[in-house]
Each structure stands twice: as structure tokens, then as C-alpha cells.
Amino acid sequence: MVFKSLNVANLTRLMVGLCVCGFGLTLMLQAHLGLSPWDVLSQGVSIRLGIAFGTASILIGAVVLLFWIPLRNRPGFGTIANALLIGTWANLFITLIPRSTNYLQSAAMFLIGLLLVGAASGLYISANLGAGPRDGLMLGLATKLGKPIWIVRTVVELTVLLIGWALGGQFREGTIIFAFTIGWLMQRSMRLFRSKTA
């Protein structure tokens, strides 16, 4: 049970990781050079529903958790915290970080945001308090379907990317850079923080 890992050290890793992830995500959003597939969907939903980006992310996380039920996934404390806090932090940071006004500034913001998201992901994963809603969905589907995780992840992320893009989310060069680098950055971060799953 992941709740057995709920101590001060792991709780600190989780909370700091989620906060930094929200900050890094906001930098990428305000750089306006593209987002991760799930964040393209969040942005598209926020545009269509007229709600804040972070609120859309929380809403999508809640919907994704409903799909855990038929997959018989069990959420941990970190799962719920992930679903609620990254979007909450993003809503806060968006009010503090202005949108970039030139390409060089945008590129710097995006790259710093990408590095922060990669580092933060390894940090909160190392808390071992449960997978995030989206990662848990992909792991559950891979198990249920008997397919390799990379195939399931590719299909799911392409699907949410196309839906988000159709809704008005930003699909640009940053989206491609994110797709090709985030896995490596997360792996390095998980090793740095000595995650049990690294």
C-alpha cells in the first residue's frame, strides 16, 4: 500500500515536486511554443469551456480517474494530490508569470520549464505515493490489453493531442521537443532522486 510510505520525507518530495511541476508547466504555457499532449488537451478544454487552464487540468484528471474504476487501479495519496495540486499551482503561477513577448525569451522559458517538469516528475515519483492519474491510466490499459506500455502511451497521447489541438490547444515545436525529451529527463531525475521505479 502506498499509504505506508506516507511520511514527512516522502510527503515533502511529493509536495515540492508537484509545486515545481506546476511552475515548469506554467513557464511552458506562457512561452507559447507548444505543450505536452495532455496539456494541449487541458488548454483546448479551458478555451472551449472558458475556464482557467489549471482548472481544466484538474477536471481532466478527475475524468481520467473514473477510467481507473474498470481497470481496477487503486489510487494513492500521491494520485489524488497530483490530480488536484498541479493544476492549482498552475492557476496561481499563471497570475504571476506574464506571457512571453519574443521568440528568444519564449525558447528560454520553454526549455527551463521542460527541465523543471522533468526534474519535478522524478522528485514526486520518488515519493512512492501512487502514480499520477494519466500515468496510472496508461499502465492500467497496458496491463488490461496485454500490450507494451510504449504502444499504449503513444496511442493515448496521440489521441489526446489531436483532440486538444482540435479544441484550440497549442501544438507547436515545443510539443515535439517535449515528446522526444521528457522520457529521458524523467529517467535521469528518477535516478537522481533514487526512485524505486527508476
pLDDT at 86 (0 to 100): 96
Looking at the structure of the chain, the number of domains it has is: 1
Q: Which domain holds residue 31?
A: 7-192
Does residue 13 lie within any of the structural domains?
A: yes
What pLDDT was estimated at residue 24? 97
Residue 2 belongs to a domain: no
Is position 96 within any domain?
A: yes
Query: What is the per-residue pLDDT across 6-32, written as a single tens digit (0 to 9) for each?
Result: 789 899 999 999 999 999 999 999 999
Residue 1 lies in a domain: no
197 lies in a domain? no
DSSP string of the chain?
Answer: -GGGG-SHHHHHHHHHHHHHHHHHHHHHHHHTS---HHHHHHHHHHHHHT--HHHHHHHHHHHHHHHHHHHT----HHHHHHHHHHHHHHHHHHTTSPPP-SHHHHHHHHHHHHHHHHHHHHHHHTT-S---HHHHHHHHHHHHHT--HHHHHHHHHHHHHHHHHHTT---SHHHHHHHHHHHHHHHHHHHHTT-TT-
What would the pLDDT profile of 33-70 be if each residue is shown by its tens digit?
Answer: 999 999 999 999 999 999 999 999 999 999 999 999 99
Q: Does the residue 143 lie in any domain? A: yes
Per-residue pLDDT of 69-80, as tens digits, reads 998 888 999 999
For residue 152, being part of any structural domain is answered with yes
Q: Is residue 129 domain-resident?
A: yes
Which of residues 36 and 198 earns the better pLDDT score? 36
